[in-house]
Chains A and B, each alone.
Chain A
């Protein structure tokens, strides 16, 4: 079970989705908590986005929320950025300062899968952004976008 959001530059959610199966679903109180966890993670995301590379390397190690920062190949995917009790939070920062944040209900962030999920959603987001009728920071209401993200989540997080 996962809770995925795209947060705009003004702390406003432009897309929210929950990927769960009948067997694995968030408990009601956790479901209510998810947006708060994502909102509080924005502090970490904003901290990370201004870190310089040398400093990052100093902090780079496994297990920390800066775990993916040592990889100089890409710096959009931030890996596991936060956690709260049994929940893990991963993040992805676009060059336009949109934040993709996902709450992992199982507490485990599989970097390979999560990275490819974020990048594919990023592709979809860019296509949405190219729509002349879409304004940055507006909620994405396109059902096509939603269905594509859900298909993607089913493929990557079965």
Chain B
């Protein structure tokens, strides 16, 4: 009996000692703080998107097709006002970036990661590529200006036609090149050593090992990196201003896939957005036009990102 009693007593003591006694105020506070950080982020984004969407209804809601087909105009009431030229410029800039920056960037990354000896020189190069990725985009605009417009080097201006979508595309390709090299390089570094050894172990050459193991394994990572860099390129305005994207009096309105217009005067969606926003000061109607252009650009970028995600999932499934 006595032992039972003391048992009961100690049981009660244990129960009391592990009983929840205080509220964890600090923890709760911390959690609330984190939640509000998330809320602020979401709220800002929501406000931005909602205002833009509401503003854009004047154009997109009433004359969507005309707006997509129309051109730059000096008055917002002009019924031929639209972003077709901006879409043309942005579309081709994206294509040129993909054609130039992706193969060159991925190729450079393959060489750096798989072939180049690891020494101070290559380490120096890698650090510099990382630095280049942080250089302000205006500086790349200056490079494009000197290289492609003023013809200071190689007389490239004759090829690009000076201020043209081609010049803009090449400039932005140079801008994203370091990003492509870095993200691809990281994807290559993530390939497990076991796969490499396995391939070498059955008599694969270095090239065969890279083609059959490294590239397929790294494909999802490369894809994510390259398409993010593409989204960046399509959203840039500053370098395009320097290579002479214009905001009015564009000559013809080429069809979206008219290659001959690549060396003509050009504009692009970020430039159109900037210009119309500036012009809304004297002509309020441009607010709606700028908002509508933003929505189109967002949809463009969103489509690219969705494509990237879809492709990445497919590649990832493949690699198991």
Do A and B interact? no
Q: Which residues of B contact A (CB under 8 A)?
A: none
Q: Which residues of A contact B (CB under 8 A)?
A: none
